[in-house]
């Protein structure tokens, strides 16, 4: 829901920052992989209840995730780069609630599993529509710089990161936050399925 506004805010800073790695010969895929390594480091930090470090690694992951796109737009967007970026994003999104489960299985396991379950819904509806839209050469009217055409929703990347930040700041409330955000994710999944079906049906 907020991605279209967040993109406008961060576009210029990321565009300016992307000049440095471009001049140094660093490609977008290298930035994607580096960001994913930072994301992976959040998992042990969460498991050991080092929430400050976890938050730092989460924010670094997101910074690099935005930076790789800016560098790709300078160097040329590629299908393999888009594939790598999206795949590692979904893995990152799932490992964060898993980290909270490891930190406190008794309190967080069911809520964490529900949140990951909800992410499967948002992720599968995201990717399934993108595949079909690509087959039909449909272009997104909103996210024109993205590798794939996908349908937005109540919970997108901006809301997900806000959820993770909140969980790190208030880890004792992780279960409650996970239940609420997971429910919102299912609203997103439902609206994406409906909108995707109607969009593709209209193209038949």
Give the three-class secondary structure for 148: coil
Q: Tell me which residue has tokens 């937005």.
A: 152
User: CATH assignment of 3-202?
Assistant: 1.20.120.1760
49: left (phi over 0), alpha (psi -120 to 50) or beta: left
Highest mean pLDDT: which range of 25-39, 120-134, 185-199: 25-39
- Percent of the chain at pLDDT > 90 equals 68
Mean pLDDT (whole number) for 103-109:
98
pLDDT at 146: 52
The number of residues making up the chain comes to 204
**Long-range pairs, 18-22, Cβ under 8 A, ≥24:** 18/67, 18/70, 18/71, 18/73, 18/74, 19/74, 21/67, 21/71, 22/71, 22/74, 22/75
Is residue 32 a contact partner of residue 84, using CB atoms and an 8 Å limit? Answer: yes
Average pLDDT, the chain: 90
Q: Which residue has better confidence, 200 or 138?
A: 200
What pLDDT is stored for residue 134 in this prediction?
A: 80
Report d(CA 57, CA 48) in Å as an integer. 14
Please state the domain extents for the chain: 3-202
**Per-residue b or e along 125-149, where b marks 16 or more CB atoms closer than 10 Å to that residue's CB:** bbeebbebbeeeeeeeeebeebbbb
Q: Give the pLDDT score at 189.
A: 95
**pTM of this prediction?**
0.88
pLDDT at 133: 84
Q: Rounded distance, CA 185 to CA 136, Å?
A: 27
Whether residue 106 has pLDDT greater than 50: yes
Instruction: Express each pLDDT in 145-184 by its tens digit.
Output: 555 566 677 888 899 999 999 999 999 999 999 999 999 9
**Structure token digits, residue 110:** 């069911």
- Residue ranges with strand state E in 44-181: none
Handedness of CA 104, 120, 9, 72 (dihedral sign): positive
What mean pLDDT do residues 118-137 have? 89
Residue 19 has pLDDT above 80, yes or no: yes
Report pLDDT for 148: 53
Cα-only R_g, the chain: 17
Average pLDDT over residues 36-50: 98
């Amino acid at each position: 829901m907020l991605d279209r506004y967040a993109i406008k805010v961060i576009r210029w800073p990321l565009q300016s920052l992307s000049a440095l790695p471009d001049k140094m010969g660093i490609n977008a895929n290298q930035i994607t992989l580096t960001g994913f390594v930072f994301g992976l480091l959040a998992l042990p930090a969460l498991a050991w209840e080092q929430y400050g470090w976890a938050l730092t690694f989460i924010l670094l992951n997101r910074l690099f995730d935005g930076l790789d796109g800016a560098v790709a737009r300078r160097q040329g967007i590629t299908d393999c780069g888009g594939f790598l970026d999206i795949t590692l994003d979904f893995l990152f999104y799932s490992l964060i609630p898993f980290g909270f489960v490891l930190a406190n299985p008794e309190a967080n396991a069911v809520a964490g599993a529900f949140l990951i379950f909800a992410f499967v819904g948002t992720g599968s509806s995201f990717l399934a529509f993108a595949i079909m839209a690509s087959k039909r050469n449909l272009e997104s009217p909103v996210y024109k710089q993205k590798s794939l055409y996908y349908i937005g929703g109540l919970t997108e990347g901006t809301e997900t990161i806000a959820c993770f930040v909140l969980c790190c700041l208030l880890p004792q409330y992780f279960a409650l936050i996970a239940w609420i955000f997971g429910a919102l994710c299912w609203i997103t999944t439902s609206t994406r399925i409906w909108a995707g079906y109607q969009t593709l049906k209209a193209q038949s």
